[in-house]
């Protein structure tokens, strides 16, 4: 990954048009918060985005994802709800709101919102992954497995990002499949795989987090556990049960090296 080039390109885009919403949103969320681990700087960029256009549904959606990632869950729910109110036909708004509700343990409303996102989008795989994890966290394993079967069946005839298949598989206890999908995401350089890296990993602190693997378990999924509701206890069970834990360790280290 060419970290410095990405930074220069984002900054150049903002120099050319400081009010371009997608450039500021992606710089703040993807680059500063998720890649560089500079959470406060990223949040400041996103708040500037909202100041420029307070009625932007997209700005609220991005702030919802930011809140999910950093554990500001009530704030994430607030921005998710506002995003849907401002842009009621937006798939992304419904998906972000469903994720925020799920992370805040508001499962019934989260499931309803995920179903609306599926209806709007022609059953887009991201919302379907969220529905799997919502039902799993809500202790509705039959519903979770039914949604997962749909997701996996579709992957046989259309492209489904492995970064979406991995947390869905983990949510229903298919841990070997989860590892395989996570490995595929790494091999494919799946851009959403960055969401599954522990949130406190930064370019300066990567080495210190290698031993985190055996304590928080399956850290290729750990960054995403709030969003998909794979509990820490389930992750610990996964680490004990997985036959290829060494492979998971190597995969985690490869992921961290890819961010350096």
Q: Per-residue pLDDT tens for 37-55?
A: 889 999 999 999 999 999 9
Share of the chain above pLDDT 70, in %: 74
pLDDT at 237 over 50: no
Share of the chain above pLDDT 90, in %: 55
User: CA 66 → CA 84, 89, 117, 129, distances in Å?
Assistant: 16, 21, 19, 19
pLDDT recorded at residue 234: 45
Query: Which segment of 62-71, 167-176, 183-192 scores lowest on mean pLDDT?
Result: 183-192
pLDDT at 114 over 80: yes
Length of the chain counted residue by residue = 260
Distance CA 200, CA 39 (A): 9
pLDDT at 14 over 70: yes
């Amino acid at each position: 990954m060419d970290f410095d080039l990405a930074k220069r390109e984002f900054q150049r885009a903002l120099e050319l048009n400081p009010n371009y919403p997608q450039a500021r949103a992606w710089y703040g969320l993807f680059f500063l918060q998720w890649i560089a681990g500079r959470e406060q700087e990223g949040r400041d960029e996103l708040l500037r985005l909202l100041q420029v256009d307070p009625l932007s549904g997209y700005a609220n959606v991005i702030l919802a994802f930011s809140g999910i990632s950093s554990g500001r869950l009530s704030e994430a729910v607030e921005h998710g709800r506002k995003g849907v109110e401002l842009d009621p036909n937006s798939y992304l708004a419904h998906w972000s709101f469903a994720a925020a509700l799920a992370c805040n343990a508001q499962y019934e409303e989260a499931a309803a919102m995920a179903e609306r996102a599926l209806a709007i989008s022609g059953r887009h795989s991201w919302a379907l992954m969220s529905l799997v994890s919502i039902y799993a966290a809500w202790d509705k394993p039959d519903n979770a497995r039914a949604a997962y079967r749909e997701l996996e069946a579709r992957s046989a005839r259309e492209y489904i990002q492995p970064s979406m298949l991995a947390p869905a598989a983990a949510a229903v206890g298919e841990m070997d499949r989860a590892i395989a999908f996570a490995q595929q995401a790494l091999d494919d350089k799946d851009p959403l795989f960055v969401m599954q890296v522990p949130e406190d990993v930064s370019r300066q602190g990567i080495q210190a987090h290698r031993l985190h693997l055996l304590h928080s378990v399956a850290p290729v999924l750990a960054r995403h556990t709030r969003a998909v509701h794979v509990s820490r206890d389930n992750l610990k069970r996964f680490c004990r049960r997985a036959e290829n834990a060494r492979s998971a360790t190597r995969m985690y280290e490869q992921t961290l090296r890819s961010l350096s």
